[in-house]
Amino acid sequence: MTLFGLDPVLTGLLLATLAGLSVPLGATLARIEHLKSRQLDLEVQNTIVAFGGGALFSAIALVLVPEAADRAPALVVMASFTAGGVAFLIIDWALARRGGKAAQFLAMMLDYLPEAMALGALITADPQAALLTAILITLQNLPEGFGAWREMIQGSHTSKRHLFLLFALMVPLGPAAAAVGLFVLDGAPQVLGAIMAFAAGGILYILFQDVAPGAHQDRAYGPAFGAVLGFGLGLAGHLMLG
């Protein structure tokens, strides 16, 4: 079974590329987004960041951990999950010492790349599920790209052009990860499961360390509800996949 009458390999790479395009698109929206009211501007930005946080949490709860548990033994899943949290604690500490801010960008990569690998592994076995996965990745990457740009541009000495180039480089990483899932990890489910569990541990650390506290705002209720909507997006996809 194929999608759109195309070769499965070409379809998988195309879907992963389209999903990756939403990363620089989210950064572009963060660059041009401007509202007249300063307070409303901050609340809208925090709501979008919280929406991305909800989408990341849904990726942990509904995609990364369940898929990892299906592919790898429990001990491997737990060890990889813990290792992911420890690894990103160390990375976060190192970034703080240097004065850098890239937690949300790292969280986006941890979400995007393992899911793109899973997309590649799915494309021959279940093209419809691969298509839905690509749509969900796209919808997640948009607010995550927005939040990552907003975080990294604050106090950064890097020019906006060079920073945007970094976001644009995420586009070819998607099909590269899908190719790894298709040609390498399709026959190594335990390795893919360990990668997904590692990513889940890293994302969970970043969510509670940076994303959720950064989106909080007194007397503003949109950001918290944005997190609910973001998780609801992932839940909808999970239910549609059955």
Q: What is the pLDDT of residues 56-115, one digit of tens each?
A: 787 788 777 888 888 888 899 899 889 888 887 887 777 777 666 677 787 778 778 887
Average pLDDT, the chain: 77
* pLDDT number for residue 33: 54
* pLDDT number for residue 101: 66
pLDDT at residue 126 above 50?
A: yes
pLDDT at residue 38 above 70?
A: no
pLDDT at residue 39 above 60?
A: no
* pLDDT number for residue 1: 46
pLDDT at residue 227 above 80?
A: no
pLDDT digits over 144-200, tens only?
A: 788 788 778 876 667 888 888 989 988 999 899 889 888 887 778 888 888 888 888
Instruction: Please report, for residues 3, 4, 58, 87, the alpha-carbon distance to residue 112 in angstroms, rounded to integers and kept in the order given.
Output: 22, 24, 13, 18
The structure tokens listed for 29 are 């929206």
Nearest-CA neighbor of 30 among 139, 167, 158? Answer: 167
Nearest-CA neighbor of 115 among 184, 187, 180? Answer: 180
3-state helix, strand, coil in the chain (%, to 5): 85, 0, 15
Burial status of residue 155 (CB atoms within 10 A of its CB: 0-12, 13-18, 19 or more): exposed
Burial status of residue 136 (CB atoms within 10 A of its CB: 0-12, 13-18, 19 or more): buried
* pLDDT number for residue 24: 92
Residue 216 — pLDDT band, cuts 50, 70, 90?
A: low
